[in-house]
Chain A
């Protein structure tokens, strides 16, 4: 039975889907930490430079490539890039556009599970922090809950005793993901993001309103107030601008945040209608992401932490990284909000869950599209295969949890390094503007972190399994692409773009 041609139901649908893919935990947790650690308000100068010189142009290139491929009936990143790059080399480099989202999904859904688990706990009475006890005790309680949810203590701990709560939450979260991916673009992903994005904005507004009306909660410490909290985030330190790392951090934040160099936009844009405006669509999706990142993330997270924890407490929270800030520190902050603790906690983690699931949905879709296209399988069979790969990846992620070794290894190689690499490929091949900027960023990033990561990656069993998992997915995707290349060429499709479309 021939399957109907997939297409977005509306122009807004694809914009919200791309924006949903871009808006994730990093908007609320990573951005404020990066800004505070790299010059505060001054960080916004390199940040907006990277947005306008790198993020938006590369995004436009991906939107354009995707729509071009779509016009020729191609949807997976390998086939689209093969058509645009007119040959097999570009096609096999395009495998990165499936590897990255699929590889990231193996651990991203795990982190998404944490947000869901926290949300359910807040909805049903909280995570075990006792109000009124000393902050150190509350921090210990938050840390204990975090360790039990993430299994950071030991490999395999999530499969024993009470910790099974995480595994059960994962089953629910993963099932929801696969359900909407299986429903397809317009009936599944578009319908979900059309609900999720406005709800996420409302949740963010509720939390923002609460944070901005905190005033001076402890009159005995008058300097810990909302205005000074905003100052902690926004007061500029121009000295940071002379440090190359600040510019690197800003470019990195834009990359991770906008989902450029990820392969998702190419796939999503390939289902656009011919008359849809690529430039305005790309700009609107980017603007939406910036609203959540700067407009909400930049106003909520550190301000709330500062009001209750002060300068040293907030600096300590930032130093623990995005997850420490979001899952360890903020629950302690919510505990200081009295009767609002569970409501704000539930709203906050529900918002994070929506941000995460709108991103994870976009990670499966490119892989399903590529599999359908390359093998000729049905949507059901392709979705089931990707679900199986996702399950294997998730089992590894759920088992090798000690110190987050497995997922942090996959995160570095796939979710960080390969994103830069794919963006480089796209720029060299398709967008010869400002390449020097990106090459400097890429080389700087490589020098800064690669040597250290290579040594670190072989230290634990979880990290080794992570590397082997990535290699296994690479081999699988290359084989699928080779099969697809032969099949589509034999079917007469112009996959090498010998007859350019309009």
Chain B
């Protein structure tokens, strides 16, 4: 494997793994609105 091969592979893997982790972190760290229990809402 050439140096450029390592660079392309590493950059691509960092992008896809990093991007996925970042997205799921954002999704899971944002609180989801609770569903109102029927009969107790305004």
Contacts and interface: CB of A to CB of B under 8 A. Distances in A.
Contacts of B4: 41, 235-236
A228 B16 CA distance: 22
B33 A41 contact: no
Given A227-B1, A284-B23, A295 B16 contact: yes
A449 interface: no
Nearest to A238: B4
A294 B12 contact: yes
Given A284-B23, A290-B19, A236 B12 contact: no
A234 B9 CA distance: 6
Contacts of A287: 16, 19-20, 22-23
A177 B13 CA distance: 33
Contact of B27 (A15, A44, A234, A293): A15
A288 B21 CA distance: 9
Interface string A1-17: 00000000011100100
A452 interface: no
B26 A280 contact: yes
A231 B16 contact: no
A10 B31 CA distance: 11
A285 B8 CA distance: 23
B1 A231 contact: yes
Nearest to A12: B27
Given A284-B24, A287-B19, A287-B23, A298 B12 contact: yes
Given A41-B8, A234-B9, A294-B12, 8 more contacts: A12-B27, A227-B1, A230-B9, A231-B2, A234-B8, A235-B1, A275-B33, A283-B23
Contacts of A48: 12, 15
Chain A's interface size range is 20 to 34
B5 A41 contact: yes
Interface of B: 1-2, 4-9, 12-13, 15-17, 19-20, 22-24, 26-28, 30, 32-33
Contact of A280 (B12, B17, B23): B23
B13 A294 contact: yes
A11 B8 contact: no
Interface of A: 10-12, 15, 40-42, 44, 48, 227-228, 230-231, 233-236, 273, 275, 277, 280-281, 283-284, 287-288, 290-291, 293-295, 298-299
Nearest to A47: B12
A41 B9 contact: yes
25 contacts: A10-B32, A12-B27, A40-B8, A41-B4, A41-B7, A41-B9, A48-B15, A230-B9, A231-B2, A234-B1, A234-B6, A234-B8, A234-B9, A235-B1, A235-B2, A236-B2, A280-B27, A281-B27, A287-B20, A288-B20, A290-B20, A294-B12, A294-B13, A295-B13, A298-B9
B5 to A, nearest CB: 4
A294 B9 CA distance: 9
A281 B16 CA distance: 16
Nearest to B23: A284
A293 B8 CA distance: 15
A298 B19 CA distance: 16
B24 to A, nearest CB: 6
Given A10-B32, A294-B13, A230 B5 contact: yes
B1 A230 contact: yes
A234 B23 CA distance: 26
Contact of A294 (B6, B16, B28, B32): B16
Nearest to A292: B16
A234 B33 contact: no
Contacts of B2: 231, 235-236
Contacts of B7: 41
A290 B23 CA distance: 12
**7 closest A-B pairs by CB:** A41-B8, A231-B1, A284-B23, A235-B5, A234-B9, A234-B5, A287-B20
Nearest to A276: B32
A40 B5 contact: yes
A251 B33 CA distance: 37
A283 B12 CA distance: 17
A291 B15 CA distance: 9
A295 B15 CA distance: 9
B26 to A, nearest CB: 6
Contacts of A236: 2, 4-5, 8
A231 B5 contact: yes
B22 to A, nearest CB: 8
Contacts of B24: 284
Nearest to A10: B32
